[in-house]
Structure 1
Amino acid sequence: MGRGLFKIKEKCVKNNPGSSEIMDNDIAGLLKSKLEKLETLYKYTQNISDALKKDDTEELLKILNSRQRLMEEVDSLDGQLLSLFEGNTDAFKEYIADESKMLKAAYDNIGVFLKKIQQLDTENTAVMQKLFSKLKDDISNLKQAENALKGYGIIGKSARDGAFIDTKK
């Protein structure tokens, strides 16, 4: 057991006898909650892929907003986990490795989902970059068409003489 983790456990037990078990339960609950949120995050990432394939920007924006909120919740859980270890990530990793197999399994599953999400995000980013390039080309073409129409006087110039059309018979 590393010195940092030993100090944290010693402090925890000294302040609250039996708190080591409580700490295990807290960590297990936080890891379980994080895993559930990451599973949902992975589903959102899959939905982003689907929305990109369908070219459904409205749906894409909804999913991205929901995904962002969920990512903030995951960040909050990470903060809570680290606060149990006074911000010492090495002590946290050591605790996970030394304690129950259930905590280790949950931690490993979190890593698996993070890798899946990262892989899908990389694919989605490539698709989004292609769409962005296409949009830039479309905008460029529209500007060229606008300049051509201005050259012919179709747009950008108002009529010099007014016209009155009598619609009464």
Structure 2
Amino acid sequence: MLLLASPDLLDPNFVDTVVLLLDVNDEGALGVVLNRPSALPVSEVLGAWGDVVEEPEVLFQGGPVSTDGALAVALASPGGEDALGFRAVADRLGLLDLDTPAELVAGTVERLRIFAGYAGWGAGQLEGEIDEGSWYVVPGRPDDVFRLDTRELWREVMRRQPGDLALHATRPADPELN
């Protein structure tokens, strides 16, 4: 599932973001922001992983929590779901342990993106933000995670939603200027 920031969400960490939910349970929720690439090449921080990640080969700003750590989201190759260091989240999409030697990942992962930090919510916090209208919860696709150009990701995901929700894709950034 994806979280799309609604126009009511004014927190600068999340304005116009698309968040991939990775784990939701009674203790809270964890996800990564998909549309905030940094300028920092993965190879400068994580060496050999720079040769494995999807283009653009940069770290993405996964969220405001633990920005000195990294999470790797991967699309496993068919049959690679049981590979060393891979934990499935949905079908072949999952988390890859970056302590796994990069050379052991060859052939088990089709696509990989690395995020510095994550977005996290305590017990009941995300549900409260959804209830107050800060987030739209929509189904995601693996391609959403690995887009080369993420600038229009929010609008493109919104555009494919059913009913009135799709109308938000055409809203101007500042409705008062309309």
Between structure 1 and structure 2, the one with the greater Rg is 1
Question: Which category of TM-score, normalised to the shorter sequence, fits these structures?
Answer: under 0.3
- TM-score of the two chains, using structure 1 as the length reference: 0.25
Structure with the largest fraction of helix: 1
Higher percent of residues as strand = 2
